[in-house]
Each structure stands twice: as structure tokens, then as C-alpha cells.
Chains A and B, each alone.
Chain A
Amino acid sequence: MHSKKNTILIADNLSIGYCSKEGINYIAKDLNIHLEKGKLVCLLGKNGVGKSTLLRTLSKTQPKLGGDIYLESENLSQISPLSLAKKMGLVLTEKIPESELTVFELVALGRQPYTNWLGKLSAEDHKKITNAMQQVHISALSEKKNYELSDGQLQKVMIARALAQDTDIIILDEPTAHLDMHHKIKIFKLLQELTRKTNKTILLSSHEVNTVLQVADELWIMTDGSFTSGSVEELLKTDHLETLFSSDQIEFDKELKQFNLKKIRT
């Protein structure tokens, strides 16, 4: 099903979850994942099924509980934080703390893995920052303070920061949470455009199933106890999408590629 040639990230029998005093709490076990290069991949699943945990584990933000992760055939646990920062950029759900940072300064922080010990920006850094801001259309906001932005603008700024980091993979955890329909579509279109133009691999988690089905190259579907991946077309041929919400109130319409409320038959 997968061509191994083009995979950029592989998870081998990966187990994810949390360690606490009461013992180990597995959220998902023995995941085998291939992330293909240059694709827009969307991770779908119900709340609490472990989407964020998986993304955090794949980005080394939180430790794995078992198995191995390989980034371009290098074992993730052996990659230094600095070289990982040059290969993988993150956009997280968490709010950034209060500060006086301007949009430009915020995007410029993405250049940190490349700057010297004092963080001085070179001409090349400046070029990459300007470029990143142009790609997400926020050049006009450059001198604005981060607290003056709307949620949608701030999300674009955070994406620009990840772009400035100049990595092959960008991982985004629910990039469209808190956004209205208009901005959601804009962000998704933007990410789709980025994979096409820059050949970056973008992995994101989302609850926007109906939109995702229209823009994603590939879907990862997480349910309690199972993990399935494949292109939208492949998955449409199977019944996997129906299993996403095992609820008797939601049904999946294969023709419209949409999840709908089940009609109550009287």
C-alpha cells in the first residue's frame, strides 16, 4: 500500500500515552505509521482518542512509551534537539504567553536554530523571514504587536514562524480551532498550497472532517484501538470513515463526502 521510497517519517510499533505514579497509561499501542513526503496529511479522531498525544510523541515533545520513530531513517531518540529543530517545525494549540513581541520578531524566532549564540539575524535569515510572511500573506502586519492580532491572524503568524524555521516537516495541532468557517478554509487552503509549492510535508490534526476530506492528500484515522491510513479515495472505498464516530446520531454520506446528522425516521 505504501511506497517506502517516499516516506519521511516512520513509526514502528509505537506506543503512546502517559507515565504517572499510578502506572503507565497507554493511549494507543503498536502503531505503524508512514508519513509520505510532500503530502498534506490530516489526523482525524474523536476528542480524547489521542491525536495530540500522537503528534506530541512524533515531535518528541513528549516521550514515547515503546517502539521506534525514524525521521529520514535516523532514529528520533538519537537526533539532537538542534538538528531536529532544523527538520521539524511545530504549531501548537497552546496560547503564547504575554509579551511585547511584534509579528516580525515572532516569525524571526523561527530562525533560532540557524542563528549564532546571540541570535543575530543574517541577510539570509531576513530573506527567509520575509519570504515566510509573504507565503501566508501577513507582510502588512509585520510591525503589529502579537496581542493586537485576531485569532486567525495569530494562527497565520505561528504558521509563518514554522515556515521560517525552514523544515521539511511541519506538524500542526488543531490549527483551525477557535476559527470561523471563512478562516478555517483559508488556513486549510494555505496549507494545501504550501505542500504543493514547497514540497513540505504537513501533518495536522483536526476536527473539521468535512473540510479535511476536500483538501487532504491522506488521512490518518484514529479510533479507540485502531489506526488506519490512506488517501481519501482509498478510504472512501472502505468503511473506515464510518467508524470515525461510532455514534448512532452521525452518518457518513459517501457521495457527498460529508458527515451528517442521522435523520430521525418516524
Chain B
Amino acid sequence: MVFVGLINIHLGSVNIPTKEITNILSGRGSEIESWNYIVLNYRVPKAITAVLVGSGLAISGLLMQTLFRNPLAGPFVLGISSGASLGVAGLILGVSIFSESISSIALSSWSISIASSIGSFVVLLAVLVAARKIKNTMSILIIGLMFGSISGAIINVLSYFSKAEQLQQFVFWSFGSLGNLNWDELTVFGGVLFLGFLLLIPTIKPLNSLLLGENYAKSMGINLKKTRYILLITTSLMTGVITAFSGPIAFIGLAVPHLTKLIFNNSNHKILLPAVAINGAIILLICDAIAQVPTSEHTLPINAITSLFGAPIVIWLLLRKQKKII
């Protein structure tokens, strides 16, 4: 992870030699002031963001997959990311419709993260209610996709009525970006995710018993209601905050837990949780490095790269599952 992180810091639209970067990172600084600035205030925070976003999304995905007992669950597929987008769209675009004066206050990074957390929580709750009534896992995924569509439609309507600048702000946000955080925001972001990780440690044991289904978990003395609430709150908090700060980033939450399970060949959450977090971080760092398009001046939207990488994995998973049934 450290290695991939260092490579990630190397890549960017300005070419900085390895030696200089080592100097800057070890505290000696570089002769060229702008390089100093770029590395310390842009590339390092960006790499840290990638680590946080990657591990957070991957963990959310793992939790969803265990909770819904469905290998295809994930924050993006279940519409939770879309819910977060809806929350942000409602804030950025909605505020501009109603009043000019409060928009500057309302659009702080804090209110955006709250709005997106609420959005993701609402969708997650709706999906969970649907999941309790409908046992068929495929239907739940389709319902999740439908929630995504509904959110998309509402966002479209909102965009139609909103001003060009707000619209642009929202569109850029929806591309997904890891590079928009300053050190202050990063502290808040890291703090929230750390809190989420802490909340998860006591759920490792119940998560393992959930591998046998809810009734078995209950018969082994697990407090199902409490576990479900903790999982829902942490997932929506983490997905919400991540989506708020970095935009909707697709497929990391779905694909990374699978890759990890494939590599480690294990279902124990004591091993899986940290493994998934590390893998998520590594993969997002790599995706971000690709998004920089090495040796060019362009930076692609990170969301496009993760989709290009993640969607084939989903297809492959479905194909593999089909084979198992036959």
C-alpha cells in the first residue's frame, strides 16, 4: 500500500523527479517552491483521500454483502450512492432555486456531507424494508437499481430548474474527484471514517454468525436488531461522507470485497475487514494513478475509471454464479 501510495504521489500533470519527491516527503523540501506546494498540499492529501475512500467504500460493500446475504450487494448497486447524490443534488441545486442568500452558508462541506449521509441513509432504509418483505435477492438488487433511477430522475428535474453555475458545480462533483480536499477537510473526513471503523469492531462476531442467515444468528444469541442498526448507520455514514467529499465512486464497494474473498479464500470478518480495507485503498490508488494518465496533462474523472474496472468484474461474477448453478 505504501509502495502504491508513493507511485500515486509521483504521477500528476506536473512531472516531478523521484529524488525531489523523496526530499519533500522526508521533510527536507525541494528547491522549487511550487513543487513543494504541489506535493504537500495536493498530491499527499489526494493519496490519503484515495486510501480513506477506497477502504471506506470497500468495507461498506462487505457489510452490505453480509447483511443482505447477497454477493452482488454494494453501496452503488443498492442505490445508496445514488441516494447520497440525491441528497447533495437537493442541497446544491435545491438551495439555488429557493434563495440566493443562504446558498453560500448552506454549501459548506459540512452541510454537503450531512445532506449526502441523510440521502444514503434514506435509500438504505428503504432497501432494507423492501428486503424484509422480498426474499428474492435479485428483486432486491433491481429495487436498488430502481431507487437509483428515481434519484437520477429527481436530479434531472432539479437540474432543469437550477442555474448554470450550480449545475456545473454539481456535475463536477458527480464526476468524482479525490483531489478537492484540503488538510482541514481531510481531518474531518478521516475522523468520521475512523469513528465508523471503531463502531465496526464489536460487530465482527455478529457478522460472522450472519453468514448462516438471520435465524441462525438469532439462535446463537446475537442481538439482531442492534447489529443491524449499527451496520446500517455506519454504512450510510461512511458512504454518505465519502460520497459528499469525493463524489459518487462506482464499483469499489462491490468489486473489492469479492477480489479480497477470492485472494484470501476466507469468510471470517476478523480477517476480511482489514484485508478489504487495505485492498480497497490499493485499488483506488491504482485507479487514481490511471486516471492521471501518466505523462499527460489530462486528469480523467475517477468515477469513469472505477466503472471501467468494476463493471466487468460484476459481469464475470454473474457468469461464474451461473456456472455454479448448472
Contact = CB atoms under 8 A, between A and B. Distances in A.
Interface of A: 59, 61, 80-86, 88-90, 92, 94, 96-101, 105-106, 109-110, 112-113, 115, 117-119, 147, 165
Interface in B53-98: 69-71
Centre residue among A88, A105, A109 by max chain B CB count within 10 A: A109
Contacts of B222: 81, 112
A175 to B, nearest CB: 14
Nearest to A110: B220
Given A115-B205, A117-B205, A97 B219 contact: no
A219 B268 CA distance: 40
Nearest to B269: A119
Contacts of A106: 212
Given A109-B212, A113-B221, A118-B270, 12 more contacts: A81-B218, A81-B222, A83-B221, A88-B219, A90-B215, A96-B211, A96-B216, A97-B212, A100-B267, A105-B267, A105-B268, A109-B220
A59 to B, nearest CB: 7
Contacts of B268: 105
A96 B270 CA distance: 20
B219 A90 contact: yes
B143 interface: no
Centre residue among B218, B219, B268 by max chain A CB count within 10 A: B219
Interface in B186-229: 202, 204-205, 208-209, 211-213, 215-216, 218-223
A94 B215 contact: yes
Contacts of B219: 59, 61, 85, 88-90, 92
A83 to B, nearest CB: 8
A84 B212 contact: no
A29 to B, nearest CB: 25
Interface of B: 69-71, 202, 204-205, 208-209, 211-213, 215-216, 218-223, 261, 265-268, 270, 324
A82 B219 CA distance: 9
Given A81-B221, A101-B211, A110-B220, A117 B202 contact: yes
A90 B212 CA distance: 12
A88 to B, nearest CB: 7
B220 A85 contact: yes
A254 to B, nearest CB: 38
B213 A97 contact: yes
A61 B220 CA distance: 11
A152 B266 CA distance: 23
Q: Which are the 10 A-B pairs with shortest beta-carbon distances?
A: A85-B221, A97-B69, A82-B221, A100-B267, A119-B205, A90-B219, A113-B221, A99-B267, A112-B220, A99-B211
Contacts of A89: 219
Contacts of A115: 205
A94 B221 contact: no
A61 B212 contact: no
A109 to B, nearest CB: 6
B134 to A, nearest CB: 15
A81 B266 CA distance: 28
B222 to A, nearest CB: 7
A172 to B, nearest CB: 12
Contacts of A165: 220
Contact of B221 (A61, A84, A97, A105): A84
Contact of A92 (B204, B216, B265): B216
A97 B215 contact: no
Centre residue among A88, A119, A165 by max chain B CB count within 10 A: A119
A118 B201 CA distance: 8
B220 A101 contact: no
Nearest to B137: A97
Contacts of B223: 81
Contacts of A112: 205, 208-209, 220-222
Contacts of A61: 215, 218-219
A162 to B, nearest CB: 9
A101 B267 contact: yes
A211 B266 CA distance: 39
Contacts of B204: 118-119
Contacts of B208: 109, 112, 119
B274 to A, nearest CB: 13
Contacts of A113: 220-221
Nearest to B265: A100
20 contacts: A61-B215, A80-B221, A84-B221, A85-B219, A85-B221, A88-B219, A89-B219, A92-B215, A92-B216, A105-B267, A105-B268, A109-B208, A109-B212, A109-B216, A109-B220, A110-B220, A112-B221, A118-B205, A118-B270, A119-B270
